[in-house]
Amino acid sequence: MAAPSLSSALNTLSSLSLPTSSRFSLLPPPPHKLSLLSKPLHHAALVSVPKSKPSDDIDTSFFDSVNPNADIVFTPPEAPEGFVPPPSFDDGLLETDEEIASAYEELYGPAYSGVSVLGNDVFVMDSKVKKDTGFGSGAKKEKVRDGFEERVVQVRRVTKVVKGGKQLRFRAVVVVGDKKGQVGVGVGKAKEVIAAVQKSAVNARRNIVKVPMTKYSTFPHRSDGDYGAAKVMLRPASPGTGVIAGGSVRIVLEMAGVENALGKQIGSNNALNNARATVVAVQKMKQFREVAEERGIPMEELWK
Per residue in 144-181, pLDDT (tens digit) is: 677 889 999 999 999 999 998 999 999 999 999 998 89
pLDDT of residue 23: 46
Helices marked H in 53-187: 97-108
Quickly state the pLDDT bin for 83 (edges 50, 70, 90). Answer: confident
CA distance 271 to 273: 6
User: What is 223-296's CATH topology?
Assistant: Ribosomal Protein S5; domain 2 (3.30.230)
pLDDT of residue 52: 55
Q: CA dist 196 to 11, 137, 158, Å?
A: 128, 16, 12
User: What is 149-210's CATH topology?
Assistant: Double Stranded RNA Binding Domain (3.30.160)
CA distance 194 to 27: 110
Tell me: pLDDT of 142 over 70: no
Query: What mean pLDDT comes out for the span 275-302?
Result: 90
Quickly state the pLDDT bin for 44 (edges 50, 70, 90). Answer: very low
pLDDT of residue 38: 52
Residue 274 identity (one-letter amino acid): N
What ranges do the domains of the chain cover?
A: 149-210, 223-296
Tell me: pLDDT of 21 over 70: no
pLDDT of residue 132: 43
Parallel, antiparallel or unpaired: strands 182-190 and 208-210: antiparallel
Same fold, 149-210 and 223-296: no
Task: Count how many Cα atoms sit within 13 Å of the Cα of residue 276 in the half-sphere of its side chain.
Answer: 14
The DSSP-derived string for 1-26 is -PPPPHHHHHHHHHTS---HHHHHHT
Per residue in 237-287, pLDDT (tens digit) is: 999 999 999 889 999 999 999 999 999 999 899 999 999 999 999 999 998
CA distance 150 to 179: 11
pLDDT of residue 67: 78
Residue 178 sits at the vertex; the CA angle it makes with 288 and 256, to the nearest 5 degrees, is 50
268 or 127, which is more confident = 268
pLDDT of residue 255: 93
Instruction: Name the β-bridge partners of 162.
Output: 165
Tell me: pLDDT of 73 over 90: no
pLDDT of residue 125: 41
Query: What mean pLDDT comes out for the span 40-46?
Result: 48
Per residue in 173-227, pLDDT (tens digit) is: 999 999 889 999 999 999 999 999 999 999 999 999 999 998 889 999 999 999 9
